[in-house]
Amino acid sequence: MTGTDSVAASTVGSPAVVASQRRIVRALIAGQIFGGVGMGATLSLGALLAAQLGGSTAWSGMAATMSTLGAAAVAVPLARLAAARGRRLSLSSGSMLAAVGAILAITSAQIQSFPLLLVSLMLLGAGSATNLQARFAATDLSQPRSRARDLSIVVWSTTIGAVLGPNLFGPGEVVGALLGLPPLTGAFAFSLLAQLCAAVVYAFVLRPDPLLTSYALLGTRPLAGSRTGGWAILRANPRARYAVATIAFSQATMVALMSMAPVHLRENGAMLTIVGFSISLHVAGMYAFSPVFGRLSDRWGRMPVILIGQGLLLASLLVSSLGGASQSSMMIALVLLGLGWSASVIAGSALVSDAVTAEQRTPLQGFSDLSMNAAGALGGAVAGPIMMAAGYSGLAWVAMVLVAAVGAWSITRMLGSRPVARQVAAK
C-alpha cells in the first residue's frame, strides 16, 4: 500500500491525515526556500543583463515584465497538470522549467542574444508560478480552521529565499569567474542549482501527494474542463469572483507603487543604500508577518482580514500621496504596502480554496494565479506613464480606486451575509 493509499484509507481530520499534512507543509517550506533563492538571485541581475544585451537601460524593465508574463502563461497549465497528475509533478515541472530558464540566461550572455534572454526570463517566471501554486498545495489536506495558517506559513518561508537570493550577487560573480561564465551570469548558476533542489524536494520529499490524497479522501475526481474552466467558475460563483478580484486588485496596487518607489526615492535624493533598505523593508512586510494574518484569517474570517489588508493599503497610499517627498515617510508607506498586500492575498487565497468544491479548486487556483500575475504586469506597465503625468502622489491616488473597489465590495458582502446568518440562527 502506497503512502497516498494508506492516508486515503483514513478520514479527513484523522491523526494519519494530520501527520501527513505536517510532512507536506515541511516539504513545501523547503521547496519554497530553494525556489525563493533561485528567483531572488536572478531578479536584479536579469534587469542588468537585459540593459546590457538590449543596448539601453530602457530595456531593464523587461526582466520583471517577461518574468511576470511567464508566470502568468504557465499558471493555468501547471494547475491543469496538478489536477490530472498531482502536485508533485506539477511543482517539480515548474521548477525544472525555471532551471532551463537559468541555463538559457547564461547561454544568452555567452552568445550575446537579447531575444534568447527574454525567453529565458519567461521560463524563469515559471519559478514564480510554482511558488504561488505551492501555497495552494498547503491547503489540499488542511482543515478549514487551519487552512489560512498552513497557507501563510508556506508563503512566509519565501522570506528566507527572497532575502538570501539577492545577497548571492557577489559570490555568484566569483563562482562564475571560476567556471568561466560571462559577467552578470554567476548568480544564474546558483539559481540553476536552487531550482534543481526545489524540483527534487517536490518530486521525492512531497509525499503523499496532497492533491491526489484529498481526491481519494473525498471520493471525488478533478474537474475535467476546458481552458476556460476557471472563468466558468467565476461567472457562476460570486464568492470566488470576489476572492480572485481581491487578490488581483491588491497585486496591481502593490506592484504599481513598489515598482516606481526606487525611481521616486532617487528623484528625491535618496542614496542607493536607502533605496535598497526601503525595498527590503517592503519585502519584509510582504512575507514576514504572513503567519499572523493567516491565524487571524482562520480566527476572525477571511473578509475581516481582507478589510484589514485594504485598510493598510489605503494607509500606505495616503502616506505616499501626502508625505512621499520624505524618505522616512516612504519607508513607512512601503512597509504598510507590504503588510496590506500580505493580509489581502493570504485571506483572499484561503477564500479561493473555501469558495468551491474540491474538484473545482485547481482550475480556480490556476485562474487566480493567472489573474494575479496579469494584474501585476498591468499595474507595473501603467505605473510609469501615470507617474510621469501626475507624479508619485498622483499614482497613489489612482491606486486608491482599486482599494476603494475591494473595500466597498467587502463591506457589501459582509452586510449582505448578516440577514442570512440571522435566519440560520433563528432556525
Same domain for 54 and 100, yes or no, is yes
Burial category of 144 from C-beta neighbours within 10 Å (exposed 0-12, middle 13-18, buried 19 and up): exposed
Kindly report the backbone phi and psi dihedral angles of residue 349, in degrees, each rounded to the nearest multiple of 5, phi listed first.
-65, -40
Task: Dump pLDDT digits (tens) for 116-140.
Answer: 999 998 999 899 899 889 999 999 9
Please tell me whether residues 296 and 336 are part of one structural domain: yes
In this structure, the answer to whether residues 300 and 214 fall within a common structural domain is: no
Where is mean pLDDT largest: 156-165, 299-308, 379-388?
299-308
Least confident span in 4-13, 80-89, 161-170, 173-182: 4-13
**pLDDT digits 0-9 by tens, 274-330:** 777 787 788 888 888 999 999 999 999 999 999 999 999 999 999 999 986 788 899
pLDDT tens readout for residues 241-251: 999 999 999 99
User: Is residue 26 predicted with pLDDT exceeding 70?
Assistant: yes
> Terminus-to-terminus CA distance in the chain, angstroms?
46
Total domains, the chain: 2
Could you tell me if 245 and 107 lie in one domain? no
Does residue 7 have a pLDDT over 60? no
Whether 200 and 258 map to the same domain: the answer is: no
Contacts of 101 (CB under 8 A, 6+ apart): 70, 120, 121, 122, 123, 124, 125, 126, 127
Among candidate residues 170, 200, 219, the one where a domain is terminated: 219
Is residue 75 located within the same domain as residue 93? yes
Contact at 8 Å (CB) between 234 and 244?
yes
Task: Return the biggest CA–CA distance within the chain.
Answer: 75
If 0-12 CB within 10 Å is exposed, 13-18 middle and 19+ buried, where does residue 108 land? buried
State the pLDDT at residue 188. 86
Regarding whether 162 and 286 lie in a shared domain, the answer is no
Q: The CATH number of the domain where 23 resides is what?
A: 1.20.1250.20
Cα gap 316→324, rounded to integer Å: 10
* pLDDT given at position 119: 93
Alpha helices, DSSP H, located in 86-218 = 87-111, 114-137, 147-156, 158-164, 169-179, 186-200, 210-218
State yes or no: pLDDT of 5 exceeds 50. Answer: no
Apex CA 28: angle with CA 220 and CA 287, to 5°? 115
Please indicate, yes or no, whether residues 367 and 283 belong to a single structural domain of this protein: yes
Tell me the whole-structure pTM to 2 decimals: 0.83
pLDDT digits 0-9 by tens, 33-92? 998 877 766 666 776 787 788 887 666 667 777 888 899 999 999 999 998 899 999 999
Q: Are 180 and 97 in contact (CB under 8 A)?
A: no
Domain shared by 206 and 232, yes or no: no
Domain-ending residue, one of 191, 219, 247: 219
Q: How many CA atoms lie within 13 A of 270 on its CB side?
A: 24
Closest C-alpha to 233, from 417, 405, 76, 377? 76
Residue 419, CA distances (Å) to 213, 301, 354, 374, 424 in order: 37, 17, 21, 36, 9
Least confident span in 19-28, 201-210, 228-237, 289-298: 228-237
pLDDT, average across residues 193-208: 95
211 and 343 inside one domain: no
pLDDT of residue 416: 79
- Is residue 147 within 8 Å of 353, Cβ to Cβ? yes
Least confident of 224-233, 254-263, 267-276, 318-327: 224-233
Instruction: Clarify whether residues 261 and 144 are in a common domain.
Output: no
How would you class 132 by CB atoms within 10 Å of its CB: exposed for 0-12, middle for 13-18, buried for 19 or more? buried
Q: Among 80, 373, 336, which residue's Cα sits nearest to residue 244?
A: 373
Rounded mean pLDDT of the chain? 85
Could you list the residue range(s) of the whole structural domain that residue 416 is in?
A: 228-427
pLDDT for res 403: 97
Domain C-terminal end among 166, 201, 219: 219
Residues 327 and 399 sit within 8 Å (Cβ to Cβ): no
Is there a single domain that holds both residue 206 and residue 240? no
